Amino acid sequence: MKVQKEQISDYNKKDLESHNENFDFLANKLSKQGHNVSDIVTKLAKFQVAIPSWALGAGGTRFGRFSFYGEPSNLEQKIEDVGILHSLTQTAGAISLHIPWDIPSDYNAIKEKASALNIKFDSVNSNTFQDQKDALETYKYGSLSNVSKAVREQAIQHNLDVINIGDKLGSKSLTVWLADGSCFPGQNNFQTAFQNTQNSLIDIYKGLPSDWSMLIEYKPYEPNFYSTVIQDWGASLMLANGCGDKAYTLVDLGHHLPNSNIEQIVSILQLKGKLGGFHFNDSKYGDDDLTVGSIKPYALFLIFNELVYGMQNNPQNPDLAWMIDASHNVKDPLEDLIQSLEAIQEAYAKAMLIDQSALKAAQLDNDVVKCQEILQEAYRTDVRPLLEKARLNGGGVLSPIDAYRTLNIREGLIKERGKNTVATGL
Ligand SMILES: [Mn+2]
């Protein structure tokens, strides 16, 4: 299924006039404050977020899973779904694959399909948190950190295979997230587990093509509940430094203990040139995988403040790999992703409105009240007309959720694929 250009331009007609009024009003106001509005709109249009292949079907919990019907059942259909998101929002121009769930059977056909929909292949993800059919060794007690050399070698080889698959598609980075850890005190020797992981990562790092990077993700708990080998940004940074210049830390918003100051982590990693990627989601309690911006939109804005600052002041970092990493239990996955994409763009736009020179001056004066006022002035601005303009310029729709429903996209997918399809990998 593909959204046609005529469908989009027909849909936009009804709201075009009010969009123009709202945009002109806001652009006028922002210009008077000294902002370069067209530059902001251009930056919004350029900001592309990868959709992970596993977020396109209904997720689930250990208690159950409820389908939304018409889910993509193979890689071609997953790319089609991202194509739908991208044609509406103009923000989802990349897909992040998970191996072995998404191994292409015909590389050229997959590349052609993605390129026709303007979709790039972002970072590839390896999977050593579950055993594959016919695997010789088990990851039950860890993968890259395992006490068994044979298990570690199997996990290293899998990561090298993933690099090879990603390379054929045009990906430029490998994301490693480990479930390794322990459930009970005494189960693991922390130092041995860490050292094994470092050595395994170095072996994988040696297999990176010269223009690739390796992104090391961290997580404090789950599925192991006493210790995780790469539990925080410090552990990730040590491992990245132990590998070399092409290894970076990846920050996933959901992978922190409650009330962690994520914006500060982001800031310092950028200062050190070691922030390589970012996974968006939101949470109330832990790794909840909720829609971006649905619980703590101000925290997201503060994170974007640091990201914008870093993008301007820390050229030592690579172009970041942006990805949504969420799971959908009660919402249509595509609607949820649209909401996430909008929340990301909104936070980014607001962060670009922060008057950085006034903020610096207020900081030098130790004017705490003024500092807060400057941040909140930007945060309180309704930037949605800027997002609309960026989408419109790229050929997208003014109101993505409304368009998705008006164009009966889920109904179309169910008609095309049937009710009982299940997205692979979940
Ligand atoms: Mn993640």
H, E, C per residue of the chain:
CCCCHHHHHHHHHHHHHHHHHHHHHHHHHHHHCCCCHHHHHHHHHHCCCEEEHHHCCCCCECCECCCCCCCCCCHHHHHHHHHHHHHHHCCCCEEECECCCCCCCCHHHHHHHHHHCCCEECCEECCCCCCCCCCCCCCCCCCCCCCCHHHHHHHHHHHHHHHHHHHHHCCCEEEECCCCEECCCCCCCHHHHHHHHHHHHHHHHCCCCCCCEEEEECCCCCCCCCEECCCCHHHHHHHHHHHCCCEEEEEECCCCCCCCCHHHHHHHHHHCCCEEEEEECECCCCCCCECCCCCCHHHHHHHHHHHHHHHHHCCCCCCCEEEECCCCCCCCHHHHHHHHHHHHHHHHHHHHCCCHHHHHHHHHCCCHHHHHHHHHHHHCCCCHHHHHHHHHHHCCCCCHHHHHHHCCHHHHHHHHHCCCCCCCCC
Lowest-confidence segment of 8-17, 327-336, 356-365 by average pLDDT:
327-336
Model confidence pLDDT, tens digit, residues 296-340: 999 999 999 999 999 999 998 898 999 999 988 899 999 999 999
The CA radius of gyration of the chain, in Å to the nearest whole number, is 22
CA of residue 252 to ligand 1 center, whole Å? 5
Question: Is residue 426 scored above 60 in pLDDT?
Answer: no
CA of residue 30 to ligand 1 center, whole Å? 35
Domains and CATH numbers, the chain: 48-349 (3.20.20.150)
Model confidence pLDDT, tens digit, residues 109-127: 999 999 999 999 999 999 9
Question: Is residue 422 scored above 80 in pLDDT?
Answer: no
Q: Is-contact 423 73, C-beta < 8 A?
A: yes
CA of residue 210 to ligand 1 center, whole Å? 24
Strands 275-280 and 321-324, bridge-based pairing: parallel
Tokens of 411: 């109904």
CA nearest neighbour of 11 among 88, 118, 84: 88
CA of residue 176 to ligand 1 center, whole Å? 9
At 62, is the pLDDT very low, low, confident or very high (cuts 50, 70, 90)? confident
d(CA 151, CA 145): 9
Cα–Cα distances in angstroms (integers) from residue 224 to residues 129, 187, 220, 221, 371, in the given order: 11, 11, 9, 6, 41
CA of residue 416 to ligand 1 center, whole Å? 31
CA of residue 217 to ligand 1 center, whole Å? 7
User: Sign (positive/negative) of CA torsion 5, 6, 11, 17?
Assistant: positive
User: What's the pLDDT at 26?
Assistant: 98
At 425, is the pLDDT very low, low, confident or very high (cuts 50, 70, 90)? low
CA of residue 70 to ligand 1 center, whole Å? 25
Model confidence pLDDT, tens digit, residues 212-225: 999 999 999 999 99
CA of residue 287 to ligand 1 center, whole Å? 9
User: What's the pLDDT at 222?
Assistant: 96
User: What's the pLDDT at 252?
Assistant: 98
User: What's the pLDDT at 79?
Assistant: 97
User: What's the pLDDT at 60?
Assistant: 79
Cα–Cα distances in angstroms (integers) from residue 124 to residues 65, 199, 242, 290, in the given order: 25, 21, 21, 22
CA of residue 162 to ligand 1 center, whole Å? 17
CA of residue 279 to ligand 1 center, whole Å? 5
CA of residue 238 to ligand 1 center, whole Å? 19
Q: Which residues pair with 322 in a beta bridge?
A: 278
User: What's the pLDDT at 346?
Assistant: 98
Question: Is residue 419 scored above 90 in pLDDT?
Answer: no
Model confidence pLDDT, tens digit, residues 76-95: 999 999 999 999 999 999 99
Q: What average pLDDT does the segment 390-401 reach? A: 98
User: What's the pLDDT at 424?
Assistant: 65
Q: What are phi and psi of 144, to 5 degrees?
A: -70, -20
